[in-house]
Amino acid sequence: MTARIIDGNALSARVRGEIAERAAALTARGVQPCLAVILVGGDPASAVYVRNKVAGCEKAGIRSLRFDYPQDASQQEVMARLAELNADPSVHGILVQLPLPAHLDETAVLEAIDIRKDVDGFHAENVGLLSQNREGFVPCTPNGVMKMLETAEVPVQGAEAVVIGRSNIVGKPMAMLLTNAGATVTVCHSKTRDLAFHTRRADIVVAAIGKPRFVTGDMIKPGATVIDVGINRLDSGPDAGKLCGDVDFASAVEVAGAITPVPGGVGPMTITMLLENTVVSAERAARDAGK
């Protein structure tokens, strides 16, 4: 069997088209969606992410504001900027690019964002709302995965789902979303005794580990859906320099029923869901203002 490929680029392009229409409709009503992005320090990967987020906004008709701080920026400076952005009604989304330099208190920074503008969904209150299946903001990567499952018409209700990884950014919210959607969810991590025992009985496997080609075809149940969140750059071997996921695509594609590639799978959906959250925030603000 060769798995059906779930194409993140195609889905992302379609969803971004819909987002641009919603942004245009809001702008016509006098509420142009606006995302503010804060970058502290010169980490090259973070700079690329921020550039892509700002470019994504521009293409979708979302206004973006970018605030760059040096590596030695103080907690006070960042907090003062957040207070200003929280108070500005023309700003609908606030994103602080992670990781922050070690001298800054990441938790305090994330908790300082107004939860109505927390489009990354990392504030503890939004995490709580997600766990109670209530309206808030859902972290972008797992939200994108849910959209991929829905579009690919993968049955989630009643499915056995295994999430590998328990980070706050991917694994935990992923498990929560799948639980809310009616799956029976097992969360695996580095202390899990027999990972393959769990993955082999899963209808849906989501890999968010950060280890290249870690999940191999023999760990997959025939016909299962495999979602590969991992983004790893290979530093040796014949594919040195190339990107790969946490799943060994070559062996998994022969066993799975559907699979996401890397690149071109979950990756493009993450920024798309950030843009969607920003538009959702602006729509809520317009609704509250009676516009």
Residue whose C-alpha is closest to residue 120's, from 226, 234, 38, 23: 38
**Which of 136, 165, 217, 257 touches ligand NAP (CB under 6 A)?**
165
Handedness of CA 235, 239, 243, 247 (dihedral sign): negative
Contact segment (CB under 6 A) with ligand NAP among 33-41, 55-63, 92-100, 162-170 equals 162-170
The answer to whether 97 is a known catalytic residue is yes
Q: Is 38 in the site for ligand NAP (CB under 6 A)?
A: no
Task: In angstroms, give the least distance from the CB of 80 to ligand NAP.
Answer: 28
In angstroms, give the least distance from the CB of 190 to ligand NAP.
3
Between CA 100 and CA 74 the distance in angstroms is: 11
Minimum distance, C-beta of residue 280 to ligand NAP, in the bound complex (Å): 19
**75 included as an active-site residue:** no
The answer to whether the bond into 263 is cis (omega within 30° of 0) is yes
Query: Quick check: helix, strand or coil at residue 58?
Result: helix
> What is the Cα–Cα distance from 108 to 112, expressed in whole angstroms?
6
Cα separation, 253 vs 236, whole angstroms: 23
Active-site choice (118, 120, 228, 248): 120
194 is catalytic: no
- Total binding residues toward ligand NAP, as defined by CB under 6 A: 25
Q: Cα torsion for 149, 152, 157, 158, to the nearest 10°? A: -100
Please confirm whether the linkage preceding 99 is cis (ω < 30° from 0).
Answer: yes
Q: Which is nearer to ligand NAP, 37 or 91 (CB)?
A: 37
CA angle 72, 108, 132 (to 5 degrees): 145
Minimum CB distance to ligand NAP smaller for 136 or for 267: 267
Out of 30, 191, 194, 235, the only residue in the binding site for ligand NAP (CB under 6 A) is: 191
Query: Using CB under 6 A, which of the segments 27-35, 188-196, 252-260, 273-281 binds ligand NAP?
Result: 188-196
Q: Which of 27, 131, 184, 232 binds ligand NAP (CB under 6 A)?
A: 232
170 binds ligand NAP (CB under 6 A): yes
Asked whether position 121 contacts ligand NAP by CB under 6 A, the answer is: no
What are the φ and ψ backbone dihedral angles of 279, each rounded to 5 degrees?
Answer: -65, -40
Start-to-end C-alpha separation, the chain:
53
Cα–Cα dist 48/21, whole Å: 26
Assess 52 for contact with ligand NAP (CB under 6 A).
no
Q: Based on the shown chain and the rule CB under 6 A, indicate whether residue 148 belongs to the binding site for ligand NAP.
A: no
Which residues here bind ligand NAP, judged by CB under 6 A? Answer: 141, 164-167, 169-171, 188-192, 195, 208-211, 229-232, 266-267, 270
Catalytic residue set: 53, 97, 120
